[in-house]
A and B are shown apart, each in its own frame.
Chain A
Amino acid sequence: MAQIGQFALALAWVVTAYSIVASLLGIRLKHDNLIASGRNAALGTFVCITSAIACLGYLFAVSDFSIKYIAAHSNRDLPIYFKVSSIWGGQEGSLLFWGWLLTAYSALVIVQNWRKHSAMMPYVVAVLMGTSFFFTSMHLFIVNPFNQTVFLQSDASPLPFVPHDGNGLNPLLQDPYMVIHPPMLYLGFVGFAVPFAFAIAAMITKQLGDTWIRTTRRWTMVAWMFLSIGIMLGGKWAYHELGWGGFWAWDPVENASMMPWLIGTAFLHSVMVQEKKGMLKVWNMVLIILTFIMSIFGTLLTRSGMVQSVHAFAQSPVGGYFRAFIIVALSGALYLLFDRLPYLKSENQMESIVSRESSFMFNNLILLAACFAVFWGTMFPIISEAATGSKITVGPPFFNKVNVPIAIFLMFLTGVGPLLAWRRASTNSLKRNFLSPAVIALASGVALYFRGVQHFYAWLSIVMSIFVTLTIIREFYKGAAARSSGTGETFLEAIVNLTLRNTRRYGGYVVHFGFVLLFIGWTGQAFTTDAEGEMGVGDTLSIREYTLRVDKLGIEDTPNYASDKATISLFEYGKKVANLYPEKRLYKAGQEKQPTTEVSIYSTAKNDVYLVFQGGTRDGKKAIIQVFYNPLTMWVWIGGIVLVAGTLIALLPNKKTILRRRPEIESKEERKEVEEKV
């Protein structure tokens, strides 16, 4: 089966190269059949890589340890669903998975757009296949997942052998969230290749209106949504699996996913300015180029071991190739952009600083500043090493110091932006829109201050959250009221129809609300407290309104791992609310036994109680239990779900208006009047 996989990879490499050559040559020679052949080759690449990944899946399923990748990332006793997720559990497989998603997206784009955008599509295929060629080359020559397991003899010559069992999947990755987190993240990363390819095609064909933006709008949103889901699941995994009490530590790998997300968010907003006013054309090109480059850079950071990370991926040979690819892609795209500048002139000018378009511009600058801060902090060890010779790592305090005020300002813009009118807004209009939300938010702020919320950023963040929530409610309320007065729909019907008639706008508001909830969850982290104790059976430990009591300390043995486990009763104000089971596991696979902590969490809307089994005392009679009191954490996950729901709404096509005949509107004239109003 490994030979079939190997053959499929080799075939994919040839076919991808052919697809690029045929597409470009076909355009040059105006040879339609050659262009069509290039397109079919791109579809063929998808078939080849699919075959390769199916082979890899099969090899994992049957535990074929003659293959190095399988031996390194699986073992016989690994449950089947983890065997499947082991495909992306290591370097070779995850890059193959990346490449496979890219070919899948390419095939989908071709099927969807070939006839609609016949001028652009050969170039789109060439760009997508260019990226795919890079990955296929990596699979085949640098990080081949089908290489054989070998034993190095004394003269350093390799001798193939089959180990009795594999090293097993990294225990930290043996988590349900880890089964779906990488695919979601990669669907996001890879998805940005599609708008990038269209942007390049638009520049080459000089079709620089908003066609490419309208065509890729949904693709961009889908990529952004998957990236958001991936980031959230990554946070959830870190929270459950790493056992340090939080969900975001500004680790380089986390930052790697955050950077394209930030620029992608900027892009999603700024395209609206181009669609509405024909402005920011160069800016949008820059943003989509950067988003794509950051996606590749993110993969490089995750996969190269360039910067040390809790994910602890070893140094690997892929870094240099990724850097070369980034340089080629970035310089090619920027050269093209520079060459096409005369075609990218703005159709309008910014008329006022107080307008929707300027708020989008601010939002873009802020998002870019956040991205730059994350980039700077992540790369600081490398920058400092180049400058001073010693690696200096900057930790969460740096990121928090820079990004918290940025995020709060962004929150402010989230509330202000949608209420500003396009072109310009007078003081009178501003008063209408902002007076009541601002007054209520400030009044709540004063109340909160006197109720003890005196941490400045936390206070500001809650006030901003209230302000933004009020503006969102106001938008729905006013819109629904206007609609219902014109159509006779009930208020609820009006809200639903309003949303369905302009899914992008109202879906966007739902996304903003999800962001508010996330923000509230983040704010709660400012009030986290923890306690630790050596606890035997019957011992208690208190934190805020909770008390823990150890009921049992035991050992569990399974084929995959052995664990020390505590059974703990949790009391809130003296009343029992839950049984919790924190564990310390020792995974058996591999020569070095790998310990992990399995935390146990009691979660409510108000707070989480998060228990970690740190280990046993020397005499083995007691367990060291650490407990974290994390306020409002649940809102992070709820916010994530709302954010995704909002994106799904925004992805729906707009419903056409069908006016219901209202009984009291009888004459044609009256009806026309109503239609005009709506």
Chain B
Amino acid sequence: MLYLFCGILSGAVLAAICAPLFRKEETLESAIIEETEWDLLQRKKEVILGNIQDLDFEYKCGKLSAEDYQKVRAEMNAEAAVVFQQIETLESSKDLDALIRREISARKDRSTTTCPSCASKNPNTNKFCADCGAKLKR
């Protein structure tokens, strides 16, 4: 019983450890994709847009005076414009990685559903049209 259990335990663990070593080629692990400049800019864009959305909501809740809101909103708009510009520049460059990413995101964009009511395009994940609220057909 003792030997059997110890044998099973060590056998199973050893098999799990050794299995990858005998595989021909592992593609995932060291296809280490570093965070590229494009990634960072995209993230920055998301953050700024999120901040703008938050600011708008807080203004609507009455937490900010009109003066404060307009000032901060203008600053945020300017920051967003800079990031958009940077993304645009990067994507129009001949950097291969950026081009591939642009192609991929273009492919992603194609996976949309057209609204039967107002003909606007929606991501496939939407159940209702973001534009008019009509139910989308799958």
- Chain A contacts for B23, CB-based, 8 A: 33, 36
Q: How far is the CB of A207 from chain B (nearest CB, A)?
A: 5
Q: How far is the CA of A533 from the CA of B47 in the complex (A)?
A: 65
Q: Are B5 and A421 in contact (CB under 8 A)?
A: no
Q: Are B26 and A32 in contact (CB under 8 A)?
A: yes
- Chain A contacts for B130, CB-based, 8 A: 659
Q: Are A429 and B65 in contact (CB under 8 A)?
A: yes
Residue of B nearest to A428 (CB): B65
Q: How far is the CB of B17 from chain A (nearest CB, A)?
A: 5
Q: How far is the CA of A5 from the CA of B52 in the complex (A)?
A: 57
Interface membership of A478, Cβ < 8 A? yes
Q: Are B16 and A478 in contact (CB under 8 A)?
A: no
Interface membership of B78, Cβ < 8 A? no
Q: How far is the CB of A492 from chain B (nearest CB, A)?
A: 18
Q: How far is the CB of A217 from chain B (nearest CB, A)?
A: 14
Interface membership of A615, Cβ < 8 A? no
Interface membership of B35, Cβ < 8 A? yes
Contact of B133 among A15, A428, A661 (CB under 8 A): A661
Q: Assuming the A-B contacts A15-B13, A429-B64, are A7 and B75 also in contact, with contact meaning beta carbons closer than 8 angstroms in the complex?
A: no
- Chain A contacts for B29, CB-based, 8 A: 26, 32, 35-36, 118, 122
Q: Are B60 and A40 in contact (CB under 8 A)?
A: no
Interface membership of B63, Cβ < 8 A? yes
Interface membership of B106, Cβ < 8 A? no
Residue of B nearest to A40 (CB): B16
Q: Are B35 and A11 in contact (CB under 8 A)?
A: no
Interface membership of B9, Cβ < 8 A? yes
Q: Are B67 and A421 in contact (CB under 8 A)?
A: no
Contact of A423 among B17, B72, B126 (CB under 8 A): B72
Q: How far is the CA of A193 from the CA of B127 in the complex (A)?
A: 40
Per the CB 8 Å criterion, the residue count for chain B at the interface is 52
Contact of B17 among A7, A15, A32, A209 (CB under 8 A): A15
Q: Assuming the A-B contacts A209-B35, A478-B63, are A7 and B9 also in contact, with contact meaning beta carbons closer than 8 angstroms in the complex?
A: yes
Q: How far is the CA of A615 from the CA of B50 in the complex (A)?
A: 64
Q: Are A275 and B32 in contact (CB under 8 A)?
A: no
Q: How far is the CB of A603 from chain B (nearest CB, A)?
A: 39
Contact with B along A207-224 (1 / 0, CB 8 A): 101110000000000000
Residue of A nearest to B50 (CB): A276
Interface membership of A622, Cβ < 8 A? no
Q: How far is the CA of A33 from the CA of B30 in the complex (A)?
A: 9
Q: How far is the CB of A58 from chain B (nearest CB, A)?
A: 12
Per the CB 8 Å criterion, the residue count for chain A at the interface is 63
Q: How far is the CB of A124 from chain B (nearest CB, A)?
A: 13
- Chain B contacts for A426, CB-based, 8 A: 65, 67-68
Q: Assuming the A-B contacts A30-B30, A119-B34, are A40 and B17 also in contact, with contact meaning beta carbons closer than 8 angstroms in the complex?
A: yes
Q: Are A43 and B16 in contact (CB under 8 A)?
A: yes
Q: Are A677 and B60 in contact (CB under 8 A)?
A: yes
Name which of B10, B40, B63, B133 has the most chain A CB atoms within 10 A of its CB: B63
Contact of B63 among A39, A275, A419, A486 (CB under 8 A): A419
Q: Are B51 and A422 in contact (CB under 8 A)?
A: yes
Q: How far is the CB of A54 from chain B (nearest CB, A)?
A: 11
Q: Assuming the A-B contacts A37-B18, A421-B63, A423-B75, are A48 and B9 also in contact, with contact meaning beta carbons closer than 8 angstroms in the complex?
A: yes
Interface membership of A424, Cβ < 8 A? yes
Q: Are A44 and B16 in contact (CB under 8 A)?
A: yes
Q: How far is the CA of A432 from the CA of B69 in the complex (A)?
A: 13
Interface membership of B28, Cβ < 8 A? yes
Q: Assuming the A-B contacts A15-B17, A37-B17, A660-B133, are A118 and B28 also in contact, with contact meaning beta carbons closer than 8 angstroms in the complex?
A: yes
Interface membership of A162, Cβ < 8 A? no
Q: How far is the CB of A187 from chain B (nearest CB, A)?
A: 25
Q: How far is the CA of A475 from the CA of B54 in the complex (A)?
A: 13
Q: How far is the CA of A258 from the CA of B20 in the complex (A)?
A: 43
Q: Are B13 and A47 in contact (CB under 8 A)?
A: yes
Q: Are B21 and A33 in contact (CB under 8 A)?
A: yes
Q: How far is the CA of A205 from the CA of B72 in the complex (A)?
A: 35
Q: How far is the CA of A481 from the CA of B62 in the complex (A)?
A: 10
Q: Are A11 and B68 in contact (CB under 8 A)?
A: no
Interface membership of A438, Cβ < 8 A? no
Q: Are A3 and B2 in contact (CB under 8 A)?
A: yes
8 A Cβ contacts from B1-33 to A: 2, 5-6, 9-10, 12-13, 16-21, 23, 25-33
Q: How far is the CB of B117 from chain A (nearest CB, A)?
A: 10
- Chain B contacts for A275, CB-based, 8 A: 47
Q: How far is the CA of A407 from the CA of B13 in the complex (A)?
A: 50
Q: Are B62 and A47 in contact (CB under 8 A)?
A: no
Q: How far is the CA of A432 from the CA of B43 in the complex (A)?
A: 33
Q: How far is the CB of A239 from chain B (nearest CB, A)?
A: 40
Q: Are A211 and B35 in contact (CB under 8 A)?
A: yes
Q: How far is the CB of A325 from chain B (nearest CB, A)?
A: 25
Interface membership of A100, Cβ < 8 A? no
- Chain A contacts for B47, CB-based, 8 A: 275-276, 278
Q: Are A429 and B68 in contact (CB under 8 A)?
A: yes
Contact of A421 among B72, B126, B133, B134 (CB under 8 A): B72
Q: Are B20 and A33 in contact (CB under 8 A)?
A: yes
Q: Are A671 and B2 in contact (CB under 8 A)?
A: no
- Chain B contacts for A36, CB-based, 8 A: 20, 23, 26, 29
Q: Are A209 and B21 in contact (CB under 8 A)?
A: no
Interface membership of B118, Cβ < 8 A? yes
Interface membership of A511, Cβ < 8 A? no
Contact with B along A644-678 (1 / 0, CB 8 A): 00000000000000111100000010011000011
8 A Cβ contacts from B34-56 to A: 34-35, 40, 43, 47, 51, 54-55
Q: Are B13 and A668 in contact (CB under 8 A)?
A: no
Interface membership of B109, Cβ < 8 A? no
Q: How far is the CB of B120 from chain A (nearest CB, A)?
A: 9
Interface membership of A433, Cβ < 8 A? yes
- Chain A contacts for B16, CB-based, 8 A: 40-41, 43-44
- Chain A contacts for B2, CB-based, 8 A: 3-4
Q: How far is the CA of A30 from the CA of B29 in the complex (A)?
A: 9
Residue of A nearest to B126 (CB): A658
Q: How far is the CA of A31 from the CA of B29 in the complex (A)?
A: 9
Q: How far is the CA of A320 from the CA of B62 in the complex (A)?
A: 57
- Chain A contacts for B82, CB-based, 8 A: none
5 contacts between A and B (CB under 8 A): A32-B27, A37-B17, A119-B33, A210-B43, A478-B63
Give me the 5 closest cross-chain CB pairs, A-B, nearest first. A36-B20, A32-B26, A661-B133, A44-B13, A478-B61
B positions within 8 Å CB-CB of A: 2, 5-6, 9-10, 12-13, 16-21, 23, 25-35, 40, 43, 47, 51, 54-55, 57-58, 60-65, 67-68, 72, 75, 118, 126-128, 130-134
Given contacts A31-B30, A211-B35, A421-B55, 18 further A-B contacts (CB under 8 A): A34-B20, A118-B28, A207-B34, A275-B47, A421-B72, A423-B72, A424-B68, A426-B67, A426-B68, A432-B63, A432-B64, A432-B65, A478-B62, A486-B60, A658-B127, A661-B132, A671-B131, A677-B60
